Amino acid sequence: MPFLDRNGYRLHYRLSGPEGAPVLLLGNSIASDLTIWDEVAADLDRDFRVLRFDMPGHGESDPVPGVEDLAALALEPLALLDALDIEQAHLAGISLGAMVAAELALKEPRRCLSLIYCNAITEAGPAYAAMWRERIHQTPEGLAPIVESTLDRWLTADALAGLRRRTGEMILASSTVGFHAAATALTGLSLTDRLAELDVPKLFLAGEHDQAAPPEVMKAQAGQAGAAFTTFPGAAHLSCLEQPAALAGTMRGWMLRSL
């Protein structure tokens, strides 16, 4: 199990696919881990070098004190690219992972082959910020109080029982410290105007039934950012779990056209 030592804190990652192929960096959502990309990665690493990582305090990555904003979170995958001598990559993520990928692209645009922004909004309005502060308040000793409501937002009603169970277990496994740090970062989300100035190919991907990042909102924000836009039927917030083949196919076509 590979880790990057970040000044005494471990950043967990996985790298797969042919050496020398274009690199795709994938970031996970809050309260999840890199395994949410398993099916997508298994499809794409036939043609791409796929690099996944666990956000600090998620999965096998240690919480990192003071990493409580999106710009600070973006330094983690940047350190990973540096350590692995990866000069350029397609930067992608879902939900929180998309926002972190965007912050990384904004910080290092020359290293971004393209930005793939999945199931995420670009601006934290007052209600959005208040929602995350309330979730922090609800979870002083673990994420059990918000598991069911989170699953209802993340997955469609048609999701298989096994997928819902596994996703719930993943949420419960997230550390409280890591969740609170990431939730605090989400309250400061402010990307709309900055993404409009980012001169790299951009693709926004939405789920038809996504309550957290509604497709109509993402479509409008994609227009503001100058990004291409696609919606996946039959998906809610975690399209990588409910529509992995469609997501992988769209990402593959996009990246091949962006090279």
pLDDT for 259: 76
List, in sequence order, every residue forming a beta bridge with 114; answer none if it has no partner. Answer: 90
What are the pLDDT digits (tens) for 4-62? 999 899 999 999 999 999 999 999 999 999 999 999 999 999 999 999 999 999 999 99
List, in sequence order, every residue forming a beta bridge with 190; answer none if it has no partner. Answer: 123
Q: For the chain, what is the mean pLDDT?
A: 97
pLDDT for 1: 78
Alpha-carbon span 198 to 5, nearest angstrom = 30
Where does the pLDDT of residue 65 fall: very low under 50, low under 70, confident under 90, or very high at 90 and above? Answer: confident
What are the pLDDT digits (tens) for 174-198? 999 999 999 999 999 999 999 999 9
pLDDT for 66: 85
Contact 155, 235 (CB under 8 A): no
Q: What is the CATH number of domain 3-258?
A: 3.40.50.1820
Domain edges within the chain: 3-258
Where does the pLDDT of residue 156 fall: very low under 50, low under 70, confident under 90, or very high at 90 and above? Answer: very high
Where does the pLDDT of residue 204 fall: very low under 50, low under 70, confident under 90, or very high at 90 and above? Answer: very high
Locate 209 and state its tokens. Answer: 């039934």
